[in-house]
Amino acid sequence: MNHEDFMSSYPEGMNKTLSTDLMVMLIPPVVLLAGAVIEVFAQDVSGRTPPSVIDSKKTPLLPPEGLDGWNLVSGEATIEYEDGVLRGHSAGDRNAFLMSERTWGDFVLEGEVLIEPGGNSGWQIRSRIDDPGDLTSRLRGYQIEVETTDRKWSGGIYEEGRRGWLDTLLGDEEARESFRIGKWNRYRIEADGIHLRSWVNGVPCGDLVDLARTEGHIAFQIHTGSCDVRWRDLEIVDLGRSRFISSGSWRKVERRMDGDQMKMSEFTPGVETSTIRFTYPVEQDGILSIMDQDHRRIIEISLDDDDPVISSIGTACRFPEVAPGAGMDLTGDSEHQIVVDLHQGRITVIRDGVVLLKRHDRTCSSIGGVVIHTSGSRDESPDSGRIHCLVREKSGEKSP
């Protein structure tokens, strides 16, 4: 999994081991660390605890009797459903999936799974088949792993039919030991905007940021080979659907700082958001400032740096994984695409699918704005028509 775990005791001093070429920039209240080697001091605290309060209520995922609204897709297998227990076994030469007819966006899914030794399975989320009119066509999408090998990656995040492993459990022994072969295992799976997370028997496992899909079908995998798997007590909380919308535009301003004329492009979201996506010209040099909900500057980062900035301010923090490419739709060589994301105080900045920054700020609850500073005579600015905020529509609602 390779989640980075960092501990600091700011402002008394940060616990870390630094390389000799460390560059530390202190721009109160901003701390930037570039090219740093930071020792791991603590395992998971911030950003990994499930929300304590959920507005919506849990509902059963499956009907009390029968499987109306669910179809076997992609392959053949035997499906049995009795006394609230769903069983899948005897798959053919292709993986089979019991897939929901409806699609889901953001949700919390909980339930228990039991798989016989030697089998492999998974919980499919935000998935689709290639041809909706052909139930034998290939299913693709995110999968929360269920497996019985010595690898012990149950709870990791895989992408069926596309990129493969996105978030393994490498380096996370607690997560690897959480799954019990031959026994019932309780899973909690959260899909929240561009975040996917999983818990197995209460232990945090998968934790991913990815932009490829924000909605899709739920399905249960019956893998080829000796897969004999059962599910029970399946409940879901529907949290609505997240999507990117255009909200506001860049505002150009000029200020003189230390004798230099600085050109700035400022953006203030017209809605409350925790994720902003925008583009800016490749030729443009710039410094990105990120503001919190009180318009306090919490981060400044050079958009030209290739070395990621990683720091945990104020508390131990476990940062989410970002798969190569981050599921971003990169359109060409003339512009960069930037994503600024905030999740439970964990801030991630991604440029063209590569992480530029990971930082924790325990006081930040939403993104209040972003500013790009440029210098010199060049009069280029981010494309005002291509800045979007992620918002959630609850069931029956429409975002502005």
pLDDT tens sequence across 287-323: 899 999 998 988 888 877 666 677 666 566 778 999 8
- Separation CA 338–CA 89 (nearest Å): 44
- Separation CA 172–CA 204 (nearest Å): 10
How far is the first Cα of the chain from the last one, in angstroms, to the nearest whole number?
A: 37
Domain co-membership, 160 together with 267:
no
| Domain limits for position 198 | 69-239
Are 301 and 187 contacting, i.e. CB atoms less than 8 angstroms apart?
Answer: no
Domain co-membership, 262 together with 229:
no
Q: What is the pTM of this model?
A: 0.84
- Three-state SS annotation for 157-221: EEEECCCEEEECCCCCHHHHCCCCCCCCEEEEEEEECCEEEEEECCEEEEEEECCCCCCEEEEEE
- Separation CA 98–CA 124 (nearest Å): 9
> Tell me: the pLDDT tens digits for 18-40?
222 222 232 333 333 333 322 23
229-245 mean pLDDT: 96
Structure-block tokens of residue 349: 């900045």
166-190 mean pLDDT: 96
Domain co-membership, 125 together with 155:
yes
261-277 mean pLDDT: 89
What residues contact 171, with CB distance under 8 A and at least 6 apart?
1, 2, 3
Are 305 and 356 contacting, i.e. CB atoms less than 8 angstroms apart?
Answer: yes
Domain co-membership, 306 together with 349:
yes
Domain co-membership, 105 together with 226:
yes
Sole residue written with tokens 């775990």:
5
Residue 11 binned pLDDT confidence (cut-offs 50, 70, 90): very low
208-237 mean pLDDT: 96
> Tell me: the pLDDT tens digits for 111-140?
999 999 999 999 999 999 999 999 999 999
Whole-Å CA distances, 195 to 102, 302, 322, 335? 21, 25, 10, 25
Domain co-membership, 330 together with 232:
no
Domain co-membership, 78 together with 203:
yes
- Three-state SS annotation for 254-320: EEEECCEEEEEEEECCCCCCCEEEEEEECCCCCEEEEEECCCCEEEEEECCCCCCEEEEECCCEECC
The answer to whether residue 97 is domain-embedded is: yes
Domain co-membership, 125 together with 223:
yes
Q: How many CA atoms lie within 13 A of 400 on its CB side?
A: 10
